[in-house]
Each structure stands twice: as structure tokens, then as C-alpha cells.
Amino acid sequence: MLSYRHGFHAGNPADVFKHTVLVTLVGAMQEKPRGIVFVDTHAGAAMYDLTSLMAQKTAEYRAGIEPLWARQGLDSPWRDYLEAVRSFNPDGKLRYYPGSPMLIRSMLRKSDRLYLCELHTSEQQVLAARFADDRQVEVIAGDGYRALERILPPPGGRGLVLIDPSFELKTELELMTDALARALRRFGHGVYVLWYPLIEGRDTAPDAMPGALGLVGEQWLDLRVKFSPAQRLGRMTGCGMAIINCPYRARAVLERLPEEFKS
Ligand SMILES: C[S@@+](CC[C@H](N)C(=O)[O-])C[C@H]1O[C@@H](n2cnc3c(N)ncnc32)[C@H](O)[C@@H]1O
């Protein structure tokens, strides 16, 4: 039984990095008019109240979104990400933190569609209630890796899959690699974005993945950040985002992000 709840971690430094990469990729893909299918295989609860007991218990957002919130004069893509978070806090006070489902939903055009997969029953209920009347969003209660077999390839040939597991399972990298191998056979030119933690004493970096998946050259872009002592989350010393088939327009911007994350 999985026990991870993202409410304890929402808005932390890992979320800031992950969601900035995500917003950048969505924006870059939408420069072309054709509709896009987005899949969030590990959706979480979509929206988090930072004043809740859960968020306050760990207060991880204090080293993540909170310091960024106060910053003025940020350039894109940090500015775009922050504007997206600000849109959920219209009174100017940081209270609500949008998870990946809400961030993607806020950027959907009429021609786009979003699938949200979630295994945890309480998160499933929250998602189902939140998107019940939303015809552009489908909530799938179940395994996100398996759901890819049903969803891919998307009818219009354009799609982005976010794979953001909690790494509670020691076999997570293998599950991810197997799912990606199957997904790439069905939809080889899709954009796939994987989050992973860098954990002291544990091998969680997907270094073997490009070889295992037969990816070549620019098909694989791996971005890593190391947390400062204030940002460090227990044994998590940093995190990474690996992107398969990164859109050309986003590449240079994304490659600069790890360096900018430090400043
Ligand atoms: C890190 S959280 C997701 C955070 C979210 N993507 C965001 O950025 O706001 C991981 C979520 O995946 C769920 N989960 C774990 N294994 C899963 C699986 N095989 N399929 C779908 N959801 C899963 C967990 O219950 C948890 O809610």
C-alpha cells in the first residue's frame, strides 16, 4: 500500500523545478496550433492549501515557492511559472499551490485534452470531484503506467506525458523504463518528461535509461539540480527531469534552468 501524499511536499524546491520545466514545455508545444493530449500518469491531488495541517507539518514550501514568490523582475521561464501560480492566488498572498494537473489545466486550449491518472483512493476522489464537470479532462483511477497503453498514441499525433512518481518502490526506475519502452513503441515521437529524486545512498538517477530504450543523441535531455543546504529535503539532495524528444523551441531555455535554479 502506497502512503505518499503530495500535500506534505507541495511547493517544495523539487516542485518549483519540476513545474517550471513543465510550464516551459507546455508553452513551447502550444506554439503550434494542432491540439495536444497531455497525460499526467501520477497526478496527485491537483491543488494544495499551504495553510493546511499537512503542508504546515513539513513546511517544505518555505524553501521552494515561498522565496520565489517574493522575487521581482524574474525572466521567463521562471516568470511564466510564477504567473501561473499567482493566478491561483488572486489576492496576492501565497496560499494555494497548484500541482501539475492544475498547471496543465490552466494552460489547455480548446483543442487540447488532459488525462489524469492516480492510484491513491483519497487523491482519486479529490480529482474526480474537482474535474467532474470538465469535458477536457478525464480522471483515470488506476495505474498511470498501464493507462498509457489505452491513451497512446493520441489521435492527433501530438502528446506530452508527465511521469512523476513518488519513488516509494525500489523498482520504480524499472517500472518507468518498462512503461516507457511500451509507450515509445506506440508513440515514438511523443514528448515524455520524467521526474526523479537524487537520494543519498540510493541509485535513483535514470542513467541506464537512454541505452535501455535505444534513444539516440538529442532524443534524451537530462536536467539536474542540486539543492542548497536550506533546500535539502531529508536525504534528497537534489532532483532531475529527463525529457525524451524535447521540443526544439524549449531546449535552449531548459538547458539553462539548472544553473539559474542556483541563483
Ligand atoms: C509526486 S506525486 C505527484 C505530484 C504531481 N504530479 C504534481 O506535480 O503535482 C505522486 C503521486 O503518484 C501516485 N501514484 C503512485 N504510484 C502510482 C501509479 N502507478 N499510478 C498512478 N499514480 C500513482 C501517488 O499516490 C501520488 O499521489
pLDDT per position as a tens digit, 31-82: 999 999 999 999 999 999 999 999 999 999 999 999 999 898 999 999 999 9
Is residue 164 among the annotated active site residues? yes
Whole-angstrom Cα distance, residue 99 to residue 49? 11
Inform me whether the pLDDT recorded for 179 exceeds 90.
yes
Contact 1, 81 (CB under 8 A): no
Whole-angstrom Cα distance, residue 62 to residue 56? 10
Residues 6+ apart with CB under 8 A from 90: none
% of the chain with per-residue pLDDT over 70 = 100
Task: Give the residue, by CA position, lying nearest to ligand 1 atom 19.
Answer: 143
Task: Give the residue, by CA position, lying nearest to ligand 1 atom 17.
Answer: 119
* Ligand 1 residue neighbourhood (C-beta within 6 Å): 2, 4, 6, 18, 40-44, 99-100, 117-120, 123, 143-145, 164-166
Per residue in 230-261, pLDDT tens?
999 889 999 999 999 999 999 999 999 999 99
Inform me whether the pLDDT recorded for 209 exceeds 90.
yes
Whole-angstrom Cα distance, residue 104 to residue 102? 5
**pLDDT in the model for residue 262:** 85
Domains (range + CATH), the chain: 6-262 (3.40.50.150)
Per annotation, catalytic residue among 164, 178, 203, 222: 164
Average pLDDT, stretch 164-169? 95
Q: Give one word for 214, left, alpha or beta, with left for phi > 0 and alpha for psi -120 to 50.
A: left
Compute the distance from residue 42 Cα to the ligand 1 centre, in Å. Answer: 3
Compute the distance from residue 92 Cα to the ligand 1 centre, in Å. Answer: 29
Ligand 1 atom, smallest distance to 18 CA:
8
How high is the mean pLDDT of the chain? 96
